[in-house]
Amino acid sequence: MALRHVRRLRAYYGHLALYVAVLSMLLAINLLTRPQHLWVVWPALGWGFAIVMQALQVWGPARFLGPDWERRQVEKRLGRPL
């Protein structure tokens, strides 16, 4: 599982670096050609959403609602540690 997580993390950071590089080039093209119309926002939002979805796959919602969260909630309701 640890190896799978590290591979997903490496892929995520690679995609994030590619996102920053490509969006920087697109922003430069946009500002040089039509600075009054910022069309670069649309690819940034679409691709940014995909980056967020990939981040959820890497770290997952389980980080927020996983076993540790469940244990804390049970302990809170019981008023004592498990």
Would you list the DSSP string of 57-82?
HHH-THHHHSHHHHHHHHHHHHTS--
Domain regions of the chain by residue span: 2-78
Please, which pLDDT band fits residue 62 given cuts at 50, 70 and 90?
Answer: low
Residue 4 pLDDT exceeds 90 = no
Whats the size of the chain, residue-wise? 82
Query: Tokens 């591979």 identify what position?
Result: 7
Considering only CA atoms, which of 53, 54, 48 is closest in space to residue 13?
54
Please, which pLDDT band fits residue 64 given cuts at 50, 70 and 90?
Answer: low
Name, in order, each residue with C-beta under 8 angstroms of 74's C-beta and a sequence gap of 6 or more: 82
pTM of full prediction above 0.75: no
